[in-house]
Chains A and B, each alone.
Chain A
Amino acid sequence: MDSKTKKYLGFMFLIIAIFFLDPIPGPTDFVALQAYSMYSGADVGLNNLSVIYADYFVWSMIVGILLLWIAMYFLGWNLKKLWKKIDLGKYNLAVGLSILVVVAMSFFNLNSYLYLLILPIVYYFYEKDFSEAIALFLSSYILILFGFRELLSFIFTKTSIPEFVEMQSPVVSWISSTLGFEAITSISLISSVLISFVAIFLLTKLLREKF
């Protein structure tokens, strides 16, 4: 095999690996979810999604890492080079941690606003950048406000999302009524979580670069 073919093959595997490794629920999941359905025979419909999501996540991570290894073999990269290509700075790492804060709050069922403040306060002491600390705080706050915590609680308990979700959130209620539902439904909950991820992506970029 000549080097050009190896490079093409490597990039092809890399793109497929990204589809499986992307942790944030989004458009890429529709490819990986179908693959999971073919592998396990599980029903990946909207009603059953929260029941299978935890198993699906573990499966897609394992498949993604295997594909990444194959891609790295073809491209001749090692871990250090991969890390340089990803170029994850302190700030992006902290944004990832702020998403993890919400995941932990849902997993351990914590009901205190103080957890939203640990990361931004610690970040401010190290970096002395007020706008970035505010962005970290707002990203966890927006995720909870848009119902990410409720959605995760369904995933962690492996129960399906009921037709009408009982939750108190002004933003999710507003999104449901805008979409034309009488109450908060599973569709409006999932779409509001997708909107929240787009919102924090734009917000963290804006607060880093403009302020």
Chain B
Amino acid sequence: MKIKINKGNLIPDIKEYGKILLSVIITIYLLKGFILYLLPSLNSLSDFWGLVFWVFLITWLKNLFDFRIFGRDWF
């Protein structure tokens, strides 16, 4: 397992992350009706900022590290 750290991506690019935020919000509003139409029990919206936080965190970690497990780029 090899891990390389890209130090250039330590500070996130605000413009790129703004784009991600915008597309996440648009996707949620496009798919919300479709999901809730057949599954009305999933109507809790308490974790919206949790979702945004996870998408940001995963994107940031992905840009920061290069994982190579069994000789292959996994994430």
A residues adjacent to B (C-beta < 8 A):
79-80, 83-84, 90, 93, 110-118, 121-122, 125-126, 137, 141, 144-145, 168-171
Q: Complex formed: what's the CA distance from A116 to B35 in Å?
A: 9
Interface residue B45 (Cβ < 8 Å from any Cβ of A): yes
Contacts of B71 in A (CB 8 A): 80
5 smallest CB-CB distances across A and B, nearest first, come from A113-B42, A112-B44, A113-B35, A114-B51, A111-B44
- B13-45 vs A, CB cutoff 8 Å, 1 = contact: the mask equals 000000010011001100110011011111111
Interface residue B62 (Cβ < 8 Å from any Cβ of A): yes
B residues adjacent to A (C-beta < 8 A):
20, 23-24, 27-28, 31-32, 35-36, 38-48, 50-51, 54-55, 58-59, 62, 70-71, 74-75
Q: Complex formed: what's the CA distance from A195 to B32 in Å?
A: 25
Max chain A Cβ within 10 angstroms of own Cβ: one of B36, B41, B45, B62: B41
Majority secondary structure, A binding face: helix
Q: Complex formed: what's the CA distance from A115 to B28 in Å?
A: 11
- Once the chains bind, are A93 and B38 in contact (CB under 8 Å)? no
Q: Complex formed: what's the CA distance from A65 to B7 in Å?
A: 39
- Once the chains bind, are B32 and A113 in contact (CB under 8 Å)? yes
- Once the chains bind, are B54 and A118 in contact (CB under 8 Å)? yes
- Once the chains bind, are B43 and A117 in contact (CB under 8 Å)? no
Q: Complex formed: what's the CA distance from A93 to B24 in Å?
A: 22
Contacts of B38 in A (CB 8 A): 145, 170-171
Contacts of B74 in A (CB 8 A): 90, 93
Choose from B20, B23, B40, B44 the contact partner of A168 (Cβ within 8 Å): B40
- Once the chains bind, are B47 and A121 in contact (CB under 8 Å)? no
- Once the chains bind, are B47 and A115 in contact (CB under 8 Å)? yes
Asked if A112 meets B41 with Cβ closer than 8 Å, knowing A90-B74, A141-B35, the reply is no
Contacts of A90 in B (CB 8 A): 74-75
Q: Complex formed: what's the CA distance from A114 to B50 in Å?
A: 9
Q: Complex formed: what's the CA distance from A137 to B35 in Å?
A: 10
Smallest CB separation, A195 vs chain B (Å): 16
Q: Complex formed: what's the CA distance from A24 to B61 in Å?
A: 31
Known: A122-B55, A144-B42, A170-B38. 14 other contacts (CB 8 A): A80-B71, A93-B74, A111-B41, A112-B44, A112-B47, A114-B45, A114-B48, A115-B51, A116-B42, A117-B28, A117-B51, A121-B24, A144-B39, A168-B40
